[in-house]
Structure 1
Amino acid sequence: MQISRPPSPRPTAPQPRRAPPCPRGWILAVPAGLALNLAVSVIVLGQGTGALVAGAVYLAAAGIVAVGMRRHYPHAVMGACNTVTLMRVALTAALIAPLMGDAPAGWLVAAVAAISLTLDGVDGYLARRANLCSDFGARFDMEVDAALALILALHALAGSPVGAEVLVLGVMRYLFAGAGLIWPWIMAPLPVSYFRKGVCVLQLATLIALQIPQMPPDTGIIQARIASVALVWSFARDVLWLWRHR
């Protein structure tokens, strides 16, 4: 007697994995940042046409951040910490507006940049307090610092006595990332370093000081060179550590 076996179930095709939605609070934070961006660009910095460029840059950056959050952010809530960082994106993008005009450097640029730098310490505190720390948040904060440094370096190049050497303070992060495309070991995680954080503060503080019109030329050049040497040394230390631990 032959016993029939039930037919084996047909294999089902794997269901595509849906990306998680953006965390709660994102829908409100983006238009708030756009309003801040346009207000600073038009009212404070007084650039109508440049404000459109600054707003477009902010929206593009917000879109990139949204994609990154969907893929890498581990929390369901955006939180005040990432909202503050997004506001820093709005302020940083607003500083593009004066570059479209005739007076790219000045007290107002220094003031807006100083506010952004001050908020750099606020978002980390809020993340720790709300238990929303993440690798994504740290990377988000770092990239805003890099963008702020680049824009301020362009302001300093156009409106300060320092020459093209000031661009060292604005492009080092991007040179580092470009080197990572050639040598992938450069993009490995780095240990926490207070020396690196201190150099970042020195870098941004120097770039803000270079926006002040009353800065004596010799003083500005000396400050820029000191900050540039410190920044190059900081990156060299990190590259050496990564090479040894590759």
Structure 2
Amino acid sequence: MIKQDLLLRAVIPAPVLAAGVFAVGFTPLAWATGVVYALALVLLTEWGLRRSGRGAFGPADWITFARAILVGCAAALIADGDFALGWLVGLVGVALLLDGLDGQVARRTGTASEFGARFDMEVDAFLILLLCIQVSRTLGLWVLAIGLMRYVFVAASWTMPWLTAPLYPSMARKTVAAVQGVVLVVTVSELLPTSVTLVLVAVALASLTWSFGRDVVWLARHRVAVSHRPARIVAITRSSLRRPLGHAWPSHNQAA
């Protein structure tokens, strides 16, 4: 069963990439990007499963895997740079529509897991980064700050473990997180004038900076209190990985 699961994960991306070649006209650069992404996807999911003590995907994980493949196709398009905008919007749209379905399936089938929650969040985060790369081509490199901020936060937590402590529930944080995805998708679709999207993306970045800054300050103020309960922090942080349905963006320290 485990070997069959791994084989499926290794084989499934191939026909999807092949379809991309014929349907979209993937160039060698796009093809290479897709192949590297597919290999990384298979290897990282296998590593994650082994680390979590699981040998195979659950029903919800396959939905997340399907979303990850769509994100990989989007990555191939963006790497190429010369594509019909409708393809990218379509891929991203389907990937976002499927977001939350995996969590719903996991809960209904009783197969929710830390691995599944982490996998879901990593796919979301990488999709946001890809959208930032695409938007930066028209608005400037500063847009990348939206997609990179979360990764910088995670990297900082390696030297400052107190950043991994659980955060208090916040509707403002959830709202800011959702806004990032919505604004980036609207900007990529080119439905609005550049002047309007420039303001929207700037406001989105400002709100995200405020959200991260507020949480970092809160964590810094409480780091002495939590530093004496490392086991408790690990337990709470792991449980916090199971985020509510519908987030377009993972909470900062949930992927640390």
State whether residues 37 and 91 of structure 1, in contact with CA within 8 Å, keep that contact through their aligned partners in structure 2: no
Q: Which residue is 1:6 aligned to?
A: none
CA 61–211 in structure 1, closer or farther in 2 if over 3 Å, else same = same
CA 140–194 in structure 1, closer or farther in 2 if over 3 Å, else same = farther
Output aligned runs, 1:33-182, within 5 Å: 33-39=13-19, 41-49=20-28, 50-73=30-53, 78-103=57-82, 106-158=85-137, 160=138, 162-182=139-159
Partner Cα separation in structure 2 for residue 149 and residue 175 of structure 1: 14
Output aligned runs, 1:195-234, within 5 Å: 195-234=172-211
**Could you tell me the TM-score, scaled by structure 2's length?**
0.76
SS for the counterpart of 2:12 is: helix
- Looking at both structures, which has the greater relative contact order when contacts are Cα pairs under 8 Å and sequence separation is at least 6? 2
**How many Å apart are 1:61 and its aligned residue?**
2.1
**Could you tell me the TM-score, scaled by structure 1's length?**
0.79
**How many Å apart are 1:70 and its aligned residue?**
0.9
Aligned residues: 222
State whether residues 24 and 83 of structure 2, in contact with CA within 8 Å, keep that contact through their aligned partners in structure 1: no
CA 146–37 in structure 1, closer or farther in 2 if over 3 Å, else same = farther
Q: Which residue is 1:15 aligned to?
A: none
State whether residues 105 and 211 of structure 1, in contact with CA within 8 Å, keep that contact through their aligned partners in structure 2: no
**How many Å apart are 1:124 and its aligned residue?**
0.9
SS for the counterpart of 1:95 is: helix
State whether residues 45 and 97 of structure 1, in contact with CA within 8 Å, keep that contact through their aligned partners in structure 2: no
Structure (1/2) with the larger helix percentage: 2
Larger Rg: 1
Structure 2 counterpart of 1:236, from 213, 216, 220: 213
CA 55–194 in structure 1, closer or farther in 2 if over 3 Å, else same = farther
Give the share of equivalent positions with the same residue, in percent.
33
Q: What are structure 2's unaligned runs of at least 5 residues?
A: 224-256
1:94-127 deviations in Å (ceiling 9; x for gaps): 1222234343682321221111111111111111
